[in-house]
Amino acid sequence: MHGRVVTTERLTPGMVRVVLGGDGLAGFTCDGCTDAYVNVAIPPAGAPYAAPFDVAEVTAGRPRGEWPARRRYTVRSWDADRRLLTLDVVVHGDAGVGGPWAANARPGDVLVFTGPGGGYRPDPAADWHLLAGDESALPAIAASLEAVPAGAPVVVRVVVDGPEHEIPLPSSGALDLVWLHRSGTPQDADLLPAAVRALPAWRGRLQAFVHGEAGEVREVRRHLLTERGATRADLSCSPYWRRTMTDEAWRQVKAAWTAEVERDVA
């Protein structure tokens, strides 16, 4: 599957919105998950093939150095009537693969991907909703806030580099939103866990979405399970990246790390 870039927009210094359209999206559907994602395939610079391409054919018939890099991005929105797929991509200058692609994307460029996947959506039966993460989780947090039932209590804590990295987060829920700004010190690693630990006690059933940096997600998950009475079934916790690791290095160890985290709380 593939989409052609229709528009791009710089939302913040560190986030670019890419809207895809075209016949390559025929058959694409989203099942209502607010954390829906696609797995994109971005060829290396100078690749001797053009998009759209078949990833399986490229990896089977070409040397590894010519293979496309695979990255996962959350679907910010899907307009089935207009056949428009919106992705909000985090950009860290020239670092990484997906960020530079998004920053330099132009109308007509083609993005190859598979998907979607996903599994979280705010449950109307929950008494409280917690959405916690960083800029990498913002697309899913924004989509989830739009799906929270009117008047439902929803607590949001998001870590970003500063006020210029904040985006509007409208919701019909009873919203308690706090932005947490990094200082560039080792204490940044505890910003999100500390903010969640500081929340007042709540009554009833909690449903939580905690996505972002691996160590921070792990600490928040442990706290919710051991000290807040949350159940595993009501937690959506995913480590999108890990401090001190490149994307490729993290991809190599993520499965083992996730299995280790599952053993944190018996």
Are 265 and 226 contacting, i.e. CB atoms less than 8 angstroms apart? yes
**pLDDT score of 4 more than 70:** yes
Task: With CA atoms as reference, report the closest residue to 34 among 146, 152, 144, 171.
Answer: 144
Domains delineated in the chain: 2-117 (2.40.30.10), 128-262 (3.40.50.80)
Each residue's pLDDT tens digit, 120-142: 999 999 999 999 999 999 999 99
Each residue's pLDDT tens digit, 46-73: 999 999 999 999 999 999 999 999 999 9
SS (H, E, C) 55-103: HHHHHHHCCHHHCCEEEEEEEEEEECCCCEEEEEEECECCECCHHHHHH
Q: What's the pLDDT score for residue 248?
A: 86
pTM: 0.94
- Neighbouring CB atoms inside 10 A of 258's CB total 15
Round to whole Å and give the CA distance between 115 and 20.
Answer: 14
Round to whole Å and give the CA distance between 99 and 1.
Answer: 20
Round to whole Å and give the CA distance between 230 and 188.
Answer: 25
Q: What's the pLDDT score for residue 161?
A: 96
Provide the 3-class DSSP secondary structure of residue 39. strand
Each residue's pLDDT tens digit, 228-241: 999 999 999 999 99
Express as a percent the part of the chain with pLDDT over 90: 90
